[in-house]
């Protein structure tokens, strides 16, 4: 009796040809998957049937597409109502799944903004990131934290708006240092009426909306009037505020006359790498620029790169009414329609051909070209350094991902472990992680115990994600530890327990008298060794260690600052925000509350006799 032999599973073009038989002639999104379910490519189509069948016909524009089809082992499809919906879904899936054959926007972070917070009678001026959950007026985006901090600093000088938290505001009994250095009008203590303070808020809002000349003209008139009335101190204060506003205009470099609100994108691609330079213009002012280096292939066309970049860039960001580009993106009209649908207003994507708008794009293009040149030079140097690290530590290949660990604490308090990541593209700050030390059994200052906890959590999670089949889990090629043989031994013990002891570990210990340049390197099972004192590889490893140290200390200071800001009133049952505000207003500070008698506490509005006794007992529980 003959046995039935199962047909081998379909793959590549044969698989795609079979899938086409069941596809509808409708818009949608398709996914190509590889051997282990890894997503190779995400694409959208006006007609799934007509688009996908092209992959089965064997007529490919590039060898790369042929390679992608050959690796395909399965496909998934989602139909949508319109091609615009398909485009929006495609963008979302690309950012989420990071397919290896798609153009991919990397290092995509939210931009800082300035918000005038309106939830309080005395509006607060502050920096903001993320969703617009606070009631107020938002201005941005700014290209960097540096640019927004500098603008905030200037606005404080010019408009004297408060930046303190509500709890600090409510507890003030006398003006703070910011008032003394003329950066706050001190509405907290009544040195300016809420009505006059609201006028300052309106001036700040007008300035940020682009009415800078009108605001400065009004202030100049007030200065002249004050001088004529012999109020020279007031005139001098107005003069300083005008100077501060003028400095904002000077520092923004390019302030176009014909562009009120726009983002400018310029693309330069060379040698299989690309740079997209983005400039932000709001209220007729340049609010900074940032360079992006998306993951591309040599065969990707510039319009395709620009189209993919724009779609992913605006997936989670506010969209301006005008987008100026150096290269007209693929599916420009479809992108504009999707942006209109998302932003709820008309959005124009244009490649200017003349005038000031063209000059703005050309300026961005020069910046893109120069940024890519610097990036390629750095990449070449970085490649040599990683090859040197490979040779120094006897690795099988130059490391693509180096993880460096360090701890920071003061006598064991607010202990934090820090992990930084570096590779061919330099420091990968989006991959940095901090670990608040949780164990209550550690002896204060036990660096070995802290390192154990950090490494157990880091690699325990890695093992768990690998077991769950998560596809984007990345193992380090090298782990650097700040410490000597003892720390390295602890780390190897943890990694052996978790079954990841195949990852190379090296300890970096400071030399005698902690002199830089005399570092000792510890590899398990080998005697320690040193590198040449002026070796570029040694300088590179010092930079990695110093960056890990900087990050760990910064994380520790942040945690310590949060602890210092905690108010003991927050820990008392029955004291919510309203009663806390009333107590601070009555006694000036938490220390004042701690010294109050039960009778005085009970006189505060909202505080019952029982609560007064509880508060009194809390501060005397020792």
Instruction: Specify the CATH superfamily of domain 568-618.
Output: 5' to 3' exonuclease, C-terminal subdomain (1.10.150.20)
Give the Cα separation of 433 and 324 in Å (integer).
36
**Does 12-97 carry CATH code 3.40.1440.10?**
yes
Give the Cα separation of 477 and 397 in Å (integer).
9
Instruction: Answer for the pair 33, 40: CB distance below 8 angstroms, yes or no.
Output: yes
Fold for the domain defined by 262-374: Nucleotidyltransferase; domain 5 (3.30.420)
What residues contact 407, with CB distance under 8 A and at least 6 apart?
415, 416, 417, 418, 437, 447, 450, 451, 454, 482, 552
pLDDT single digits (tens) 319-337: 889 999 999 999 999 999 9
Kindly indicate the confidence band of residue 584, based on its pLDDT and cuts at 50, 70 and 90: confident
Give the Cα separation of 326 and 351 in Å (integer).
6
Give the Cα separation of 578 and 170 in Å (integer).
11
pLDDT of 560 reads: 67
Tokens of residue 332, six digits: 């420009």
CA torsion 22-25-26-27 (nearest 10°) is 90
pLDDT single digits (tens) 49-73: 999 988 888 766 678 888 899 899 9
Give the Cα separation of 15 and 12 in Å (integer).
5
- Choose between 193 and 587: higher pLDDT: 193
Percent share of the chain, pLDDT over 70: 89
Query: Residue 154 has what DSSP assignment?
Result: H
Kindly indicate the confidence band of residue 227, based on its pLDDT and cuts at 50, 70 and 90: confident
- Choose between 592 and 201: higher pLDDT: 201
At residue 30, what are phi and psi to the nearest 5 degrees? -125, 150
Tokens of residue 393, six digits: 């530590």
pLDDT of 315 reads: 85
pLDDT of 410 reads: 60
Q: Looking up tokens 């970096």, which residue turns up?
A: 508
Domain 402-563 in this protein, CATH class: alpha beta
**Mean pLDDT of all residues in the chain?**
83
Domain with CATH 1.10.150.20 in the chain: 568-618
Does residue 569 carry a pLDDT above 60? yes
Instruction: Answer for the pair 393, 528: CB distance below 8 angstroms, yes or no.
Output: no
pLDDT single digits (tens) 256-306: 667 788 999 999 998 888 999 999 888 777 888 889 999 898 888 999 999
SS3 144: coil
What residues contact 49, with CB distance under 8 A and at least 6 apart?
20, 23, 24, 25
Kindly indicate the confidence band of residue 561, based on its pLDDT and cuts at 50, 70 and 90: low
Does residue 140 carry a pLDDT above 90? no
Instruction: Answer for the pair 219, 239: CB distance below 8 angstroms, yes or no.
Output: no
| Cα dist from 364 to 38, 108, 266, 267, 326, whole Å | 37, 19, 6, 9, 9
CA torsion 450-453-454-460 (nearest 10°) is 170
pLDDT of 3 reads: 57
Angle at 189 between CA 183 and CA 192, to 5 degrees: 60
pLDDT of 89 reads: 92
- Choose between 213 and 307: higher pLDDT: 307
CB atoms within 10 A of CB 578: 10
Helix (H) or strand (E) holding 587: helix 577-587
Identify which of 271, 532, 508, 537 has the alpha carbon closest to the alpha carbon of residue 384: 537
pLDDT of 415 reads: 77
Q: What average pLDDT score do residues 447-458 get? A: 84
pLDDT single digits (tens) 586-605: 777 777 888 888 888 888 88
pLDDT single digits (tens) 519-547: 889 998 888 888 887 788 888 898 898 89
pLDDT of 579 reads: 84
Q: What is the pTM of this model?
A: 0.68
Least confident of 77-91, 114-128, 442-456: 442-456
pLDDT of 1 reads: 46
Does residue 2 carry a pLDDT above 70? no
Range list of H helices, 394-498: 447-467, 485-498
Q: What average pLDDT score do residues 9-35 get? A: 89
Domain with CATH 3.40.1440.10 in the chain: 12-97
**Interaxial angle between packed helices 485-498 and 447-467, expressed in degrees from 0 to 180 and rounded to the nearest 10:** 30
pLDDT of 511 reads: 66
What residues contact 535, with CB distance under 8 A and at least 6 apart?
388
Range list of H helices, 346-478: 355-393, 447-467
| Cα dist from 548 to 219, 371, 407, whole Å | 48, 26, 9
Least confident of 67-81, 174-188, 333-347, 352-366: 174-188
Identify which of 534, 445, 447 has the alpha carbon closest to the alpha carbon of residue 484: 447
């Amino acid at each position: 009796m003959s046995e039935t032999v199962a047909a081998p599973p379909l793959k590549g073009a044969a698989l795609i040809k079979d899938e086409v038989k069941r596809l509808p002639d409708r818009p949608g999104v398709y996914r190509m998957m590889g051997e282990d379910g890894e997503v190779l490519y995400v694409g959208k189509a006006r007609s799934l049937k007509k688009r996908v069948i092209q992959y089965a016909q064997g007529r490919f524009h590039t060898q790369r597409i042929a390679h992608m089809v050959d690796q395909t082992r399965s496909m998934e499809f989602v139909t949508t109502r319109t091609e615009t919906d398909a485009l929006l879904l495609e963008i979302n899936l690309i950012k989420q799944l990071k397919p290896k054959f798609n153009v991919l926007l990397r290092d995509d972070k939210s931009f800082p903004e300035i918000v005038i917070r309106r939830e309080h009678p005395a509006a607060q001026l502050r920096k903001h990131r993320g969703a617009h959950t606070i009631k107020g007026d938002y201005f941005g985006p700014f290209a960097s934290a540096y640019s927004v901090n500098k603008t905030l600093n200037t606005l404080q000088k010019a408009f004297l708006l408060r930046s303190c938290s509500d709890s600090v505001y409510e507890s003030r009994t006398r003006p703070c240092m910011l008032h003394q250095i003329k950066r706050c009008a001190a509405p907290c203590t009544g040195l300016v009426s809420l009505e006059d303070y609201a006028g300052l808020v309106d001036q700040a809002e007008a300035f940020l909306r682009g009415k800078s000349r009108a605001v400065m003209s009004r202030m100049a008139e007030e200065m002249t009037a004050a001088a004529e009335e012999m109020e020279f101190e007031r005139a001098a204060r107005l003069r300083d505020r005008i100077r501060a506003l003028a400095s904002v205009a000077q520092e923004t470099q390019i302030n176009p006359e014909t562009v009120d609100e726009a983002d400018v994108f310029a693309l330069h691609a060379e040698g299989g790498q690309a740079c997209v330079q983005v400039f932000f213009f709001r209220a007729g002012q340049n609010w900074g620029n940032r360079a992006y280096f998306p993951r591309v292939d040599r065969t990707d066309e510039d319009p395709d790169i620009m189209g993919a970049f724009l779609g992913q860039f605006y997936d989670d960001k506010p969209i301006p009414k005008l987008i100026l580009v150096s290269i007209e993106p693929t599916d420009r009209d479809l992108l504009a329609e999707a942006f209109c649908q998302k932003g709820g207003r008309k959005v124009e994507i244009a490649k200017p051909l003349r005038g000031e708008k063209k000059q703005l794009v050309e300026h961005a293009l020069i910046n893109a070209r120069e940024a890519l040149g610097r990036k390629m030079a750095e990449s070449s140097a970085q490649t040599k350094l990683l090859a040197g690290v490979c040779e120094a530590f006897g690795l099988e290949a130059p490391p693509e991902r180096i993880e460096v660990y360090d701890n920071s604490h003061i006598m064991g308090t607010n202990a934090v472990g820090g992990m930084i990541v570096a590779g061919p593209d330099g420091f990968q700050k989006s991959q940095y992680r901090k670990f608040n030390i949780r164990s209550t059994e550690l002896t204060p200052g036990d660096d070995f115990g802290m390192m154990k906890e950090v490494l157990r959590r880091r690699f325990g999670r890695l093992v768990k994600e690998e077991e769950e089949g998560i596809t984007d889990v990345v193992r380090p090629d090298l782990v650097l530890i700040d410490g000597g043989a003892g720390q390295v031994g602890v780390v190897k013990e943890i990694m052996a327990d978790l079954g990841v002891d195949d990852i190379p570990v090296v300890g970096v210990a400071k030399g005698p008298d902690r002199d830089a340049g005399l570092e000792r390197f510890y590899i398990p099972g080998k005697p320690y060794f040193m590198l040449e004192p002026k070796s570029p590889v040694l300088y590179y490893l010092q930079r990695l260690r110093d960056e890990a140290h900087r990050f760990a200390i910064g994380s520790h200071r942040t945690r310590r600052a949060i602890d210092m800001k905690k108010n003991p009133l927050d820990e008392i049952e029955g004291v919510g925000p309203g009663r806390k505000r009333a107590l601070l207003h009555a006694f000036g500070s938490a220390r004042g509350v701690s010294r109050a008698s039960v009778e005085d506490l009970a006189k505060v509005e909202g505080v019952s006799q029982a609560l007064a006794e509880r508060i009194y007992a809390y501060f005397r529980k020792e």
